[in-house]
Amino acid sequence: MTYRFKQAAGETLHLVLFVVTPGENADYRIRYRIEGAKPGSREAAFFRRVTIPDGVLAGRGGDLTRATLWEAATEERGKDGVGRGVIRLGDDLAPGERVVRLSLLGPQPGDAGEPAKAVWVGAVLVGQRAPGRDNGPRLWVEDDP
């Protein structure tokens, strides 16, 4: 699976992945690789977020810490497990096009159970534009009071 988008200079982006394990609550591992993630100039720069260009997102569809609709507990509907992961693209990157490639990993040594054989993935790209001028460090507030 591939996602393509542009990132401007100084922009921080989050690619939020909603991962569904169809018909079951199951563990999953998704490998991601960001192509075009070349570091920009580091001279006289303060980075709020440093990018990790490849890695593995691990989670569980239907994590027990998430709420379940009352009706879903007793009906056949609502059996799909849902999890969430985030790939962060920092302001340390040179501007340009990004290509994020995802692949589902199979069983790994030491796994306690059987991982998901298939997943559905939906993605939302959110971000914060770079300021017009440098006023010092910024704070990204995710929850307003």
**Residue 131 lies inside a defined structural domain of this protein:** no
Q: Cα torsion at 39, 130, 8, 121 (round to 10°)?
A: 90
Write down the pLDDT at residue 24. Answer: 80
- Number of domains within the chain: 1
**Residue 6 lies inside a defined structural domain of this protein:** yes
Write down the pLDDT at residue 78. Answer: 61
Task: Give the residue ranges of the chain where pLDDT is below 70.
Answer: 40-48, 63-78, 130-145
pTM of this prediction? 0.75
- Domain span at residue 45? 2-118
Write down the pLDDT at residue 117. Answer: 85
Two structure tokens written together for 20: 């569904």
Q: Tokens 């379940």 label which residue?
A: 68
Strand partners, 119: none
Write down the pLDDT at residue 145. Answer: 38
Write down the pLDDT at residue 144. Answer: 40
* Dist. CA 105–CA 53, nearest whole Å: 17
Write down the pLDDT at residue 59. Answer: 87
Cβ atoms within 10 Å, residue 82: 19
**Residue 111 lies inside a defined structural domain of this protein:** yes
Write down the pLDDT at residue 4. Answer: 95
3-state secondary structure of 9: coil
